[in-house]
Amino acid sequence: MFDNLSNRLNSIFSGLNKKGVLSEADVDAALREIRLALLEADVNFKVVKEFTARVRAEAIGSGVLKSLTPGQQVIKIVLDALTSLLGTTPAKLVLSNRVPNVIMLVGLQGSGKTTAASKLAWLLRKRGRKPLLVAADVHRPAAVDQLEALGRETQIPVYRGQGDRASDAVAVASEGVRHARDTMRDVVIVDTAGRLHIDEEMMAEAAGIKAAVKPDQILMVIDAMTGQDAVNVAAEFSQQLNFDGIIMSKLDGDARGGAALSVREVTGKPIMFASMGEKPSSLEEFYPDRMARRILGMGDVVSLIEAASEAAGDTELSEDDAQRLSRGQFTFDDFLMSIKQMRKMGGLAAIVKMLPGMGLGGAGAAIDPSQMDDAAVNRAEAIIFSMTPRERANPKLLNGSRRIRIAEGSGTTVVEVNRLVKQFNEAGKMMKQMGGGGGMGGFGAFGGAKGKRRRR
């Protein structure tokens, strides 16, 4: 996500930070590089021009160059400008007292609209709502079947058209809302048809559904990986349908970021949600300030804490366990709990990207998240599962012969077993120093654990 842009910006800012004094020429040179980086990220040209003009005006005209830390001041200005570009404040999905609330999804074919409908339903159910998915995409082959399959996976009911009216999208949407009312469902998410490009037929059908069901919110799903094409489509939709907000799909696979950085400025519509993966739980509320910090390599500690809290939801420590950990009595079973939480949070690489100091010349800048191989976590898990319950509870039992047996059982080497035991002991010491605090202590043990393996 934004990897190419982040790397370019981090390189530029690292150069600024190395200079004790900045001249106007230094700022202009940095802005030229920023302009090129944004254009290469497929950010809209007018957006880039206005962005760099704003940064220059503040950097040159506010006494920044005469400050003791001019490089950091320029970075702060860029951060503020980037946050403003993304939306300044988060835009929330506001549901009315109407029952059922109706949310209509629109977008082009292939934008991830059907998947987004399922993910949004999952998110709303977590918040105590009772959603119903309505399959009003009656044109794309198997679209209805796809939504039903997603509904089965997430255990959320799906309404599909019946009889002769099954091919009438407006009728299906209307009947779906009626069905939701009859079955006591308080939110309806209508999945509409997309096309390969905008045409009058598609827009007329969308307008017909809008008139029939009177949606409380119309959200447009945009494929982040299509760059400026997505922005142009969103601008056209905005003029003809006047949607309320944007769901940015496939953001985790977008190394450039042009669509996300352009769409609000071009359309005036906020990004409400971003899809960060394929799992039903991968749809997240979009926070402009957090995203700006991640783009600039400053981390996203708030999101990391929220993800950790959610991951720990079914692994809550008892008071006895917390006291045990605070005394440094850390077991391999605790280690396994850490691994479970880590997987729920998106894996090791996802966690590292949310840590501060990963860019801007910070202490963590030398760590490449792409090298934080989750295969290392898998090997650690295999080694632990090859231990007996007594060995996991009392690691002091792990003598030489036991380690050989564990290596053979896990398909690893004795060197890897020894390395894991050493990392485990270090994690235990850290837990004792931190006074316990949950099963997160094992995370640090995997840092850079991409070791060489002997072929077996």
pLDDT tens digit sequence for 116-148: 999 999 999 988 899 999 998 888 778 888 999
Of the pLDDT bands very low, low, confident and very high (cuts 50, 70, 90), residue 196 is: low
Confidence of residue 360 (pLDDT cuts 50, 70, 90): very low
Q: Is the dihedral of CA 103, 109, 113, 114 positive or negative?
A: positive
- Mean pLDDT of the chain, nearest integer: 77
pLDDT for 383 equals: 92
Hey, what amino acid is at 221?
Answer: V
Q: Say how far apart CA 124 and CA 265 lie, in whole Å.
A: 28
Percent of the chain with pLDDT strictly greater than 90: 23
**Residue 102 confidence class, pLDDT cut points 50, 70, 90:** very high
Which pLDDT tens digit goes with each residue over 171-188? 999 999 999 999 999 999
| Contact assessment for residue 243 and residue 220, using Cβ atoms and an 8 Å cutoff | yes
Q: Which CATH number fits domain 3-86: 3.40.50.300, 1.20.120.140, 3.90.550.10, 1.20.1440.230?
A: 1.20.120.140
Q: Note whether 33 and 41 are within 8 A (CB).
A: no
420 pLDDT band, cuts 50/70/90, is confident
pLDDT digits (tens, 9 = 90+) for 277-330: 778 888 888 888 888 887 776 654 445 445 555 555 544 444 555 555 555 566
| Better pLDDT: 235 or 152 | 152
The neighbouring-strand residues paired with 274 are 248, 284
Determine contact, residues 153/280, Cβ cutoff 8 Å. yes
Alpha carbons 129 and 98: distance in angstroms, whole number? 13
> Are 376 and 446 in contact, with CB atoms under 8 Å apart?
yes
What is the domain partition of the chain in residue ranges? Answer: 3-86, 101-287, 301-446
In whole angstroms, give the CA distance from residue 359 to residue 13.
9
Euclidean distance between CA atoms 112 and 221, whole angstroms: 7
Question: What is the crossing angle of helices 288-295 and 3-17, to 10°?
Answer: 70
β-sheet bridge partners, residue 345: none
User: Among 16-20, 196-200, 247-251, 355-359, which is the least confidently predicted range?
Assistant: 355-359
**Encoding tokens for residue 396?**
């002091």
Assess whether pLDDT exceeds 70 at residue 449.
Answer: no
CATH class of 101-287: alpha beta
At 62, the pLDDT band (50, 70, 90 cuts) reads low
* Identity of residue 272: M
pLDDT number for residue 159: 92
Instruction: With CA atoms as reference, report the closest residue to 105 among 190, 205, 14, 31.
Output: 190
Q: Yes or no: say if 443 and 351 are a contact pair by the CB < 8 Å rule.
A: yes
Amino acid at 209: I
Find the mean pLDDT for residues 394-410: 92
Mean pLDDT of 210-237: 85
C-alpha 226/C-alpha 306 separation (Å) is 30
Q: How far is CA 6 from the centre of its chain?
A: 15
Q: Do domains 3-86 and 101-287 have the same CATH topology?
A: no
Q: Looking at the structure, give the CATH architecture of the domain made up of residues 301-446.
A: Orthogonal Bundle (1.10)
Half-sphere exposure of 106 (CA within 13 A, CB side): 28
